[in-house]
Each structure stands twice: as C-alpha cells, then as structure tokens.
C-alpha cells in the first residue's frame, strides 16, 4: 500500500523510467535497512526504531491510500406529490347554459359545445316582427359542478348554416340588429324591464355578428358536486324601422357563441 501511494501520490518529475528508478532506489534502501537490522542484533535498537518508523509510515500511507480510493455515497430523492394538491396537476374548467326550455319554461341546464346548441326562447310573436319591433330572449350561464370559477365572454355571432332564401334568410339576418346585457333576469328580460336593468354586453343597434369583450364572471359551486350560480343574459333583437318590404315572410337563425378560456 505504501508503494502504491508513493508512486501515484508523489510529485515526481521526469520520464516514467526515471520515476520508476527512483522508486526502486527507495525500496532498495528500505530493504537494506530491514536486512541490516536483522543481521546486526547488537545494533538492533537503533535500527529497529527506524524500521518501526518506516513500517508505521507505510501503514499510515496505506490507510491514506485506502481512504482516498473509497467512496461513501448517500442519496436523497424527492417527488412532485399530487395526492394532496402539492404537485403538478390540473383543475376542471367547464360551463353550462340554460335557455329556459324546460317544461312550463323552467330552467334546463345543458352543455352545448357545438353550433346549433341551445335554442333561445323568445317572447311571443318573435316570428311576426314588423319594422321597429323588438323581441327578447333570456338565458343563463354557470360554472358546472366540479368546475373552477370562470370568466366568459360573448365571443361571436354568426348565421346558422345552411342558409336559404326563406327559412334561414341571409337578407333578414343582415337586416336585424341586437343588444345584449348581463344581469338581467328572466322576469326583466322584456320591454318593460330591459332598458333600466343589467350591464351592457353589446350595444343597441349592433349587427347580429357583433361580439363583446365584457367579462361575464361565473362563480364556482360551493363544493365539487354543486354547480355555480347562474348568471343571467338577455338578448333583444330588433327589426329596424326602415326595414325593406322585401324582408316580409322570411325567417333566419342567428347563433351566438360564449367562450371561457384559461391559460395562454
């Protein structure tokens, strides 16, 4: 062990051959001391002391080499926990609509994620518009059971497809205007209550294609099995006073999309 340590731990310079020669001389000197100590008992006292010192030195060097080469390793691992909300994961973000199409006009909540979704229930005579007339339709949005709170907007208005000349007239769709408000309940979504209630989403006399950036905040339910409270929205659709007589006898199917987005 002493030889190993001296060979690799020294600071010798020169060629490998000269280093090796130096080590051989050192070893030879050590062996000479050992032999002299054994063959001259009379001088054993002084020599023995040197031998013990050399042996002790070699032992210490050997132990030093062993500790230099050995490795003690201790590892610690951590993980991103998910069972108690402390690690990576996602929540649920989902809304529902109610267009009051239940029996006797009660609420009927559903998820309508594609076009031609829930049908708005307009006031009587909605299909008998005359120039200057307005009809109203209430609806609601809410965060579904298990969903986090949401912020929705009225993202776009489009005409249903396919269009045709009579039952889904593009001409009539282009002529109609609308206004939309939030926080106008079903009981106030009419000519008497609409004007002084709620917050405007889409201004009066807007084209049916108009959208809104006004936030509609949908609170979360009290627990994972309870939906959030419904937030009222009211549509008011008007056939302008100057509408052309060529629009008589026509129908159209407007669509609106509400959206809520989380993340980027």
Q: Are residues 57 and 148 in the same domain?
A: no
Q: Are residues 251 and 211 in the same domain?
A: yes
Read off the pLDDT band of 250 (50, 70, 90).
Answer: very high
What's the rounded Cα separation, in Å, for the pair 244 and 261? 40
Domain that holds residue 111: 95-260
Average pLDDT value for residue range 215-240: 97
Average pLDDT value for residue range 114-139: 90
What's the rounded Cα separation, in Å, for the pair 249 and 138? 25
90 vs 169, more confident = 169
Q: Are residues 118 and 201 in the same domain?
A: yes
pLDDT of 118 above 60: yes
- Does residue 89 lie in a domain region? no
- Does residue 88 lie in a domain region? no
Read off the pLDDT band of 94 (50, 70, 90).
Answer: very high
Please classify residue 19 by burial: count the beta carbons closer than 10 Å to its beta carbon, then call 0-12 exposed, 13-18 middle and 19+ buried: middle
Q: Are residues 229 and 128 in the same domain?
A: yes
The tokens of 254 are what? 């407007």
Q: Are residues 191 and 157 in the same domain?
A: yes
What's the rounded Cα separation, in Å, for the pair 132 and 13? 107
What's the whole-model pTM score?
0.71
pLDDT of 1 above 80: no
SS3 content of the chain, % helix, strand, coil (to 5): 30, 20, 50
- Does residue 78 lie in a domain region? no
Q: Are residues 139 and 240 in the same domain?
A: yes
pLDDT of 171 above 90: yes
Average pLDDT value for residue range 158-181: 96
Which secondary-structure segment (H or E) carries 53? helix 44-69
Average pLDDT value for residue range 42-54: 54
The whole-number pLDDT of residue 12 equals: 46
The whole-number pLDDT of residue 19 equals: 46
Q: Are residues 105 and 50 in the same domain?
A: no
Q: Are residues 58 and 115 in the same domain?
A: no
- Does residue 147 lie in a domain region? yes
The whole-number pLDDT of residue 5 equals: 41
Q: Are residues 193 and 133 in the same domain?
A: yes
Read off the pLDDT band of 37 (50, 70, 90).
Answer: very low
The whole-number pLDDT of residue 205 equals: 98
Read off the pLDDT band of 46 (50, 70, 90).
Answer: low
**How high is the mean pLDDT of the chain?**
82
Helices (runs of H) and strands (runs of E) counted in the chain: 4, 9
- Does residue 217 lie in a domain region? yes
What total number of domains does the chain contain?
A: 2
């Amino acid at each position: 062990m002493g030889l190993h340590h001296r060979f690799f731990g020294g600071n010798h310079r020169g060629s490998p051959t000269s280093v090796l020669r130096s080590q051989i001389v050192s070893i030879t000197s050590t062996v000479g001391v050992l032999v002299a100590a054994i063959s001259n008992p009379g001088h054993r006292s002084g020599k023995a002391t040197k031998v013990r010192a050399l042996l002790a030195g070699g032992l210490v060097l050997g132990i030093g080499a062993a500790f230099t080469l050995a490795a003690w390793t201790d590892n610690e691992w951590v993980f991103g926990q998910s069972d108690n909300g402390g690690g990576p994961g996602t929540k649920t973000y989902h809304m529902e609509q109610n267009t009051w199409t239940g029996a006797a006009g009660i609420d009927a909540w559903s998820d309508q994620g594609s076009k031609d979704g829930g049908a708005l229930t307009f006031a009587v005579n909605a299909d008998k518009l005359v120039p200057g007339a307005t009809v109203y339709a209430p609806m609601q949005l809410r965060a579904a059971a298990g969903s986090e709170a949401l912020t929705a907007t009225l993202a776009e208005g489009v005409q249903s497809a396919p269009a045709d000349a009579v039952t889904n007239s593009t001409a009539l769709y282009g002529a109609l205007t609308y206004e939309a408000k939030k926080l106008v309940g079903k009981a106030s979504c009419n000519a008497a209550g609409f004007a002084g209630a709620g917050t405007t989403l889409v201004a009066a006399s807007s084209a049916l294609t108009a959208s809104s950036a006004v936030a509609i905040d949908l609170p979360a339910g009290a627990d994972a099995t309870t939906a959030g409270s419904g937030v009222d929205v009211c549509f008011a659709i008007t056939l302008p006073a100057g509408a052309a007589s060529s629009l008589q006898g026509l129908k159209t199917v407007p669509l609106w999309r509400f959206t809520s987005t989380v993340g980027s």
